[in-house]
Structure 1
Amino acid sequence: MISHETDQALARARGTLDRVRLQSFDMPATTRRSRPRRSVAKRAAAIGAANVIILLAAAIIGLAIMPLGIFGALAVVLVMMAVTLAIAFAPGPRPVTHEKLVKSDLKALPMQTTRWLDAQRPALPAPAVQVADRIGLRLDTLGKQLQALDDGAPVGADIRRLVAEQLPDFIRDYQRVPVELRGAERNGKTPDRQLVEGLELIEREIGQMSEELARGDLDSLETRGRFLEMKYKDGDAT
């Protein structure tokens, strides 16, 4: 569960970010970074798959039904171009807002948080992106575990507080620090370093939650193993 020490550590990190941000009042406003672009790799894979299907369909028609001829081949090319353009310029999924994150169903919360976290990557320094990737893996595991969890389970409130509130709030506090000050050291640490350490702390907490959720399954397996060992010991089934 979320420990008191975790809350204190995150509060100290956020306090440092706040103090650094206060230094920016006399500085010119910086432009916001653009939203992350759609996944080029996924779109390229979808385009490739669609074009392969079109070519296979054209080949089957040309061999089994009737030759396509010049006009048929031209039609195939036009269809491939139309499909390529449709996939390339299709609108991406709507971004997950913080408000939507807070209202998400517990079982869908890890996936929604992962989507929100992915959208923040362009605004994070490289070391923090690496930690965010690890958090994403933790959330994937947590999401699978939550599918078997009752909605009213007490652990649900702790998970929601950490994943839907503390994690987004912490990253948003960092993003409000002007870019020029993120590498400036204050009290021995820079905002960039505070961000990385805070995310590492959150990653560990999510990992501990997964371990606690899995402990019931592990205990069940251990109990069943002892039962089978006693029942079928030495190959004597009763």
Structure 2
Amino acid sequence: MSDLSRDSDRILSEGRALVRDNREGGRHRRAVSIGEGSARVRRKNWTKRLTYFVGAVFTILVAGSVAGLVLDGIGFVGVMAIALAVVVAAAVFSNYPKVKVPKRSDINRGDVKQMVSRTELWLEAQRPALPPPAVNLVDQIGVQLDSLGYQLEGLDQNHPKAREIRSLVGEQLPEMVDSYRKIPAHLRTEKRAGATPDEQLTGSLTKISGEIDSITRQLAEGSLDDLAIKHRFLEYKFGEGAETSPQLEHKS
């Protein structure tokens, strides 16, 4: 039984290493989230996978221990069977359950804040099919969508800016990426109307990035003004006001 315990510790250690490597995208690649929203979804997914894996390993070890007690030891073959079962569990739960990427038709549903989060996750899944300059812009847009999401807290769904965001982020951005992906790979570098599809995509993403930044700044104006007013009030009360306030006299 002591041999089984030592082997179990080794198996658990190897299993944890395998899960960690797969969680980071494998030994040869790392998955990169384009924003905090998609990163949060992936962290929740990996927490669920790790929970399933730990449960599976616990079940395997309990079954092995029971078999060892009943059979008075499981021998080398039994230990190897346990090791194989743990490796299989690690392989399964490093890929299952997968992150659910929103369908294109489901992006522009719900409130505008949820729509922005879905777009971020969907856009992240499109990165492998995009040219390098566009990938860099997608990463930039992911960060911008995070900032935009913070500004959408409590925003009326019928507000003009909410409708503008829904059109830009929920319709125009996905439609443009979809249109690019439908073009055969060998035609994406051929010039048409003065620019290649790669260049057209990059240019369009640049414009969308600029629009997202502009909308975010406009939505933040109220908070910026409010902060400035509070700053001036505190400056008056504890700055200049403090200098003109009467001083207490020290009585001997």
Structures share a fold, TM > 0.5? yes
* Residue 194 in structure 1 maps to residue 200 in structure 2: yes
Cα distance between partner residues in 2 of 1:52 and 1:88: 8
Q: Runs (4+) of structure 1 moved beyond 3 Å?
A: 39-54, 74-83
Q: How much is the aligned-residue C-alpha RMSD, in angstroms?
A: 3.5
Greater relative contact order (Cα < 8 A, sep 6+):
1
Distance 1:47 1:227, change over 3 A: closer
Once the two structures are superposed, what CA deviation does each residue of 1:186-234 show, in whole Å capped at 9, x if it has no partner? 2321111010000010011001111111111111000111111122234
- Which residue of 90, 94, 98 corresponds with 2:96? 90
- Which residue of 101, 107, 113 corresponds with 2:107? 101
- Asked if structure 2 preserves the Cα contact closer than 8 Å seen for 1:50 and 1:83, the reply is no
Residues 118-133 of structure 1: pairs in structure 2 closer than 5 A: 118-133=124-139
- Following superposition, the deviation at residue 152 of structure 1 comes to 3.1
- Asked if structure 2 preserves the Cα contact closer than 8 Å seen for 1:51 and 1:80, the reply is no
Distance 1:49 1:172, change over 3 A: closer
- Asked if structure 2 preserves the Cα contact closer than 8 Å seen for 1:47 and 1:87, the reply is no
Cα distance between partner residues in 2 of 1:48 and 1:107: 27
Structure 2: stretches of 5+ with no match in the other structure: 1-20, 27-45, 59-72, 247-252
- Following superposition, the deviation at residue 108 of structure 1 comes to 1.1
- Following superposition, the deviation at residue 52 of structure 1 comes to 11
The alignment-based identity, stated in percent, is 35
Residues 159-238 of structure 1: pairs in structure 2 closer than 5 A: 159-234=165-240, 235=242
**Aligned AA (1:118):** E
Distance 1:88 1:49, change over 3 A: closer
Structure 1: stretches of 5+ with no match in the other structure: 1-38, 58-69
Distance 1:47 1:107, change over 3 A: closer
Residues 59-74 of structure 1: pairs in structure 2 closer than 5 A: none
Distance 1:178 1:76, change over 3 A: closer
- Asked if structure 2 preserves the Cα contact closer than 8 Å seen for 1:47 and 1:83, the reply is no
- Asked if structure 2 preserves the Cα contact closer than 8 Å seen for 1:43 and 1:87, the reply is no
- Following superposition, the deviation at residue 51 of structure 1 comes to 11
Single out whichever of 91-100 and 105-114 deviates more from structure 2.
91-100
Distance 1:124 1:116, change over 3 A: same
Single out whichever of 89-98 and 199-208 deviates more from structure 2.
89-98
TM-score, length of structure 1 as denominator length:
0.66
Q: Secondary structure at the match of 2:159?
A: coil
- Following superposition, the deviation at residue 150 of structure 1 comes to 2.9
Cα distance between partner residues in 2 of 1:158 and 1:42: 36
**Aligned AA (2:122):** W
